[in-house]
Structure formats: C-alpha cells, structure tokens
Chains A and B, each alone.
Chain A
Amino acid sequence: MLVAGIKSRPVYGGLSVDPNARRHLFALEGEGALALTEEAARSGADFLKNADILYVASGSRAADHDKALTALGADTFWLSPTVPVLLNRLNVMLGQAKMGTRLYVAGTEGFIGQAMQVALNHGIDHASIRCEHRGSAARRVQCVHCKGVTDNVTTSPYGCTHCGLSLLVRDHYSRRIGAFQGVNIDAEEPGTAPQPEELFP
C-alpha cells in the first residue's frame, strides 16, 4: 500500500556533466558509482581533471566500484568508510568551494536526500544539484508522529523503529529532512493494519 501522485516526490534528472562548471564534485554511494563511470564513457573524461570524487560503497562493497572510480584518474578520489563520514567531508569541501563548482549526487534515495540536506545549508538551490537514483528503491522515511527517521524502508506499511506505530509510506517528501513522510495506518482501530507489502526492493 502506497500513497502516490504527490507533487513533492523528487524526480532525479540524471547525472550529466555541466560542461561550463570549473570544478565537479561527485558524492556517490553504492551503485551510484556506475552513474559516473557511464557518464565518463559517454561524455569523454576531460572533466575528470577538475573533479573530486567522494565514494562510500555501502551495500555494494563486493562489486569493487571503488577500483573502477580510482581508475578514472580524477583530480582527487576519496573512499569513505560510512555515509556519515562522507557527508561530513562533503560539508567541509562545500564550505571551501567557489561558485562554478557543480555538485552531483548518485546512489539510493536516502543518500541523495542526506547529501542534498548538506548542500542546501550552503545556499545551493536543489534544482542545481544533478542527481541520479541508483541501487535499491529502499526509502528513508520519517514518522510524522514521533519524528523518528528510519533508513532503508522496503515495505509499506512498516513498523516505526522509534515508536512502533504501523506507518503507511507516502510519496509526500520533505527536502529539509531528506525523507518521505510515514503516517499511522490504523489510528482508528489499532491492530488492524494490513500486511506489509514489499514495495521498495
């Protein structure tokens, strides 16, 4: 069960390189590595000499995407152990960046949302960040009741990991929080929630 057709649901335009950008900053997660390697194959690798790549493998460690990214020969490549560490480094790099730097984000929606949160705090308009969704369709969802955020939600409804309520996942998205909004599905008659369906594998 999913509530779809809500306008705030993000649409990701794909990772295409801005030929005018003076620097290119890539924040990539898991299968998001492929978005960059494929774009480099498509558009030529010229831009890579002015590119910084931050990568976290997450669930794709076995695929060795970091080796393919290293082989691109970008100006800098940095492999992060975890998502929070990557976001921290992204934050520092954006703080030192100049206009003319283009930010690109690719990976799962939860990762895109969190990287975008960091970027928004630096005054970057969300529309100027080029994003591509790769990998699992799992969602990052906020419980609208207790405000707790759960990562990697694959079903709807799901049990809030913070307060235990059964939550219906909606396409209603908050850019500020970087998460979809989950709302209690059996408020009138607790215990009557339908069986979870695997909607976001």
Chain B
Amino acid sequence: MTINTEMKVRVAKITPVADKVKRFRFERTDGQPMPVFSGGAHVIVSMRDGQVLRRNPYSLMSAPGDTSGYEISVLRVENSRGGSAFLHEKLKEGDTLVLSQPVNLFPFDHRGKKHIMMAGGIGITPFMAMMEQMELEGRAFELHYAVRTRSHGAYWKELQQRYGAHRIKIYCDAENLFIPVDAILENQPLGTHLYVCGPAGMISGVLGKARTHGWPKENLHSEEFLAPPPGKAFQVKLARANRTIDVAPHQSILEAVEAAGIDAPYLCRGGACGQCETAVVSCDGELEHNDHFLEPDEKASGKKIMICVSRIKGNAVTLDL
C-alpha cells in the first residue's frame, strides 16, 4: 500500500566532498526526466545489499528544477546500520538503485517575508535545494551553518561564492565559533520563518530559544530523520494478516514486515511524517516510541506506534496490520 511509484536509476557520479561526506548523482535508466521537486524534499533510496534490502531517506540537494538527475550527500556515520556504509564503501558508479518519488516534509513557507536557515553538519543538504529555489524566486534568506572543522564542512566555500558571505555565515567548532542564536532571533522583521536541520540537540536547543524569544510555533520548522535505534529482538503479531514475524535487534518493525513480504504504508522511514502510524492491539512488553510525530499523550496511551523507528522492550506486540 505504498504510495510511491519507484524510479530505477543509475549512479552517474560519486564525488568525495569533505571528510566522510560523499555526493551521489542519480540518473534514470530509462532516460526519462526526473520529476521537478520543491526545496526540502527527500527521496527513499532502496539499496540491495546482499540479502538485505535497505531503504533510507535522504534529502535532495540538487537544483529543484533540474530534471536531468538527483543528487544527495551522505555522511558516513560511525555506527552505521548499513545504509551509509553501503553507499560509501560498496556502491560504484554505474550501479543501479531504486528511488521513490520525491516527498517534501520540510518545505519553506511561501507566505514568509524572510527565511533563516540553521544547519548543523550534514543537515545542510535540504537547504542547498531550498536556497536554489529561494534565489530563483527572489526571496530574502540567510544561512547559518555550523561545522566541526573547515574540512568536515561540506559545500561552505561553494555556497559563500554563490550567495555571498553576507548571506552564508559559517561557524566552526574548532575555531570556537558558534551560531549566535539569541542575537539572530532578537532582531528579525515580522513574518520571518526559521528552519533548523541538524543533530537532535541542536534542533531542540534552537527551537526552544525561539519560543522563549516569543516566536510563534507556526514560524518554526525542523527536520531530522532518525535511524531506527537497535534493541532486543521481539515478535510482532499481525492481527489482520494473521502472521507472526520476528524483529531482529538491528531491524525495525517496518523492515521486518517488509522482509516477510507484507506491504505496510510508509513515507519518510525516519519517524517524521506519520504515514506508518499503526494501531497497537495489545503489547506484552513496553512500547519504545522513538518518533517525532506522535504527541506525548498519544505515546502514553499505548494505542499507536510508528513502525519505522519505534519498537518494544518485551516479548511480543500485536498490531492492526
């Protein structure tokens, strides 16, 4: 029941960009144009890694109007579940992969008078496409980009050349420079929107400060894709399909269900969109909610679970699937 129409693509180019960051360019194998997307959109990349099918979301960073190909940038994470390790170490130019249609859960608000983006590390990628679109549409924007070291930071030089140092501000941990969040929030014209993409601590820190500065929540936007955290193995009983499936320690419920050949709804696979919300019939154990989507009272109710990132601590959970 996935709503994605998948596209078969070839890896046209792999470019090392910075420490542990590579850029991948994908072009369709059938020669058709890619769909135009909007800045902030992501695709799900399906990777066949031996016996395992991996599906991870990545923000599109190429120009939204460029239909000749899509580009993503991927950070090689230390304790990778396999996605970034596969892309960095196994994938070669010329290989084929499958992409979903683009989906945008992080669009900019077109009613805004000014747009401020704050990126931490690889969180820069959705803003690359957003800025392309904003520049084309003549919108007022500025980017505040925090990197660990100059060599870790991807694209900062190119961005400064393209949009000017007055709009692209770089803050380097190694040089003891940090985004002056309070000073930025204090002095913005009415109708300004704020977008944050980066590590969880950065997002909650910046958004918390914005609220104490009296920014309404309607003007605050963030995106963070979560990797499903590992845990202990457990069983999932599917009430409608009348099947029982084992979920391995490094597998999400969604992945286990898919591996058993059952099609469950999903969109972002990162706990952000809400598409995979599933009713919990009963639970022999404790639900471990890892998503950004459900409200605290919904999590506490024990009646719903986002199967892309959440799991249980216990023996078995029965789901309405």
| Interface, chain A (partner B; CB < 8 A) | 18, 20-23, 94-95, 97-102, 120, 122-125, 127-128
A99 is contacted by which of B109, B111, B213 (Cβ under 8 Å)? B213
Complex contact A102–B190 (CB within 8 A):
no
Report how far A123 CA is from B194 CA in the complex, Å. Answer: 13
Report how far A104 CA is from B80 CA in the complex, Å. Answer: 49
Q: A20-B213, A122-B113 are in contact. Are A127 and B190 (CB under 8 A)?
A: no
Q: Does B317 contact A (CB under 8 A)?
A: no
Q: Which of B182-226 touch A at CB < 8 Å? A: 185-193, 211-219
Q: A99-B185, A99-B219, A100-B186 are in contact. Are A124 and B214 (CB under 8 A)?
A: no
Report how far A128 CA is from B189 CA in the complex, Å. Answer: 16
A100 is contacted by which of B191, B213, B218 (Cβ under 8 Å)? B213
Please give me the 9 A-B residue pairs with the lowest Cβ-Cβ distance, nearest first.
A123-B191, A128-B216, A125-B218, A100-B214, A21-B214, A123-B113, A99-B188, A97-B190, A20-B214
Complex contact B219–A128 (CB within 8 A):
yes
Complex contact A99–B192 (CB within 8 A):
yes
Quote the shortest CB–CB distance from A197 to chain B (angstroms).
Answer: 38
Complex contact B215–A100 (CB within 8 A):
yes
Q: Which of B102-121 touch A at CB < 8 Å? A: 109, 111-113
Q: Which of B165-197 touch A at CB < 8 Å? A: 185-193
Complex contact B218–A128 (CB within 8 A):
yes
Q: A99-B185, A99-B219, A128-B219 are in contact. Are A123 and B214 (CB under 8 A)?
A: no
Report how far A102 CA is from B191 CA in the complex, Å. Answer: 11
Complex contact A123–B111 (CB within 8 A):
yes
Complex contact A124–B191 (CB within 8 A):
yes
| Interface, chain B (partner A; CB < 8 A) | 109, 111-113, 185-193, 211-219
Complex contact A125–B188 (CB within 8 A):
no
Quote the shortest CB–CB distance from B114 to chain A (angstroms).
Answer: 8
Q: Is the interface of B mostly helix, strand, loop or mixed?
A: loop
Note all chain A residues with C-beta closer than 8 A to B214. Answer: 18, 20-23, 99-102
Report how far A99 CA is from B213 CA in the complex, Å. Answer: 8
B189 is contacted by which of A20, A22, A99, A102 (Cβ under 8 Å)? A99
Note all chain B residues with C-beta closer than 8 A to A120. Answer: 111
Report how far A101 CA is from B191 CA in the complex, Å. Answer: 10
Report how far A120 CA is from B6 CA in the complex, Å. Answer: 39
Residue of B nearest to A120 (CB): B111
Interface centre among B189, B190, B217 (most CB of A within 10 A): B190
Quote the shortest CB–CB distance from B185 to chain A (angstroms).
Answer: 7
Report how far A17 CA is from B318 CA in the complex, Å. Answer: 45
Residue of A nearest to B112 (CB): A123
Selected A-B contacts with CB under 8 Å, 22 pairs: A20-B212, A20-B213, A22-B213, A22-B214, A98-B188, A99-B188, A99-B192, A99-B215, A99-B219, A101-B190, A102-B214, A122-B113, A122-B190, A122-B191, A123-B113, A123-B191, A124-B191, A125-B216, A125-B218, A125-B219, A128-B218, A128-B219
Note all chain B residues with C-beta closer than 8 A to A21. Answer: 214
Note all chain B residues with C-beta closer than 8 A to A98. Answer: 186-190
Note all chain A residues with C-beta closer than 8 A to B190. Answer: 94-95, 97-99, 101, 122-124
Note all chain B residues with C-beta closer than 8 A to A97. Answer: 189-190
Interface centre among B111, B185, B187, B216 (most CB of A within 10 A): B216
Note all chain B residues with C-beta closer than 8 A to A124. Answer: 190-191
Quote the shortest CB–CB distance from B149 to chain A (angstroms).
Answer: 32
Residue of A nearest to B215 (CB): A99
Report how far A22 CA is from B113 CA in the complex, Å. Answer: 20
Note all chain A residues with C-beta closer than 8 A to B188. Answer: 98-99
Quote the shortest CB–CB distance from A17 to chain B (angstroms).
Answer: 11
Note all chain A residues with C-beta closer than 8 A to B187. Answer: 98
Complex contact B216–A102 (CB within 8 A):
yes
Residue of B nearest to A128 (CB): B216
Quote the shortest CB–CB distance from B144 to chain A (angstroms).
Answer: 15
Quote the shortest CB–CB distance from A130 to chain B (angstroms).
Answer: 10
Quote the shortest CB–CB distance from A123 to chain B (angstroms).
Answer: 2
Residue of A nearest to B193 (CB): A123
Note all chain A residues with C-beta closer than 8 A to B113. Answer: 122-123
Residue of B nearest to A18 (CB): B214
Report how far A94 CA is from B191 CA in the complex, Å. Answer: 9
Report how far A120 CA is from B109 CA in the complex, Å. Answer: 13
Residue of B nearest to A130 (CB): B216
A125 is contacted by which of B111, B186, B211, B212 (Cβ under 8 Å)? B111
Note all chain B residues with C-beta closer than 8 A to A127. Answer: 216, 218
Interface centre among B192, B213, B214, B215 (most CB of A within 10 A): B214
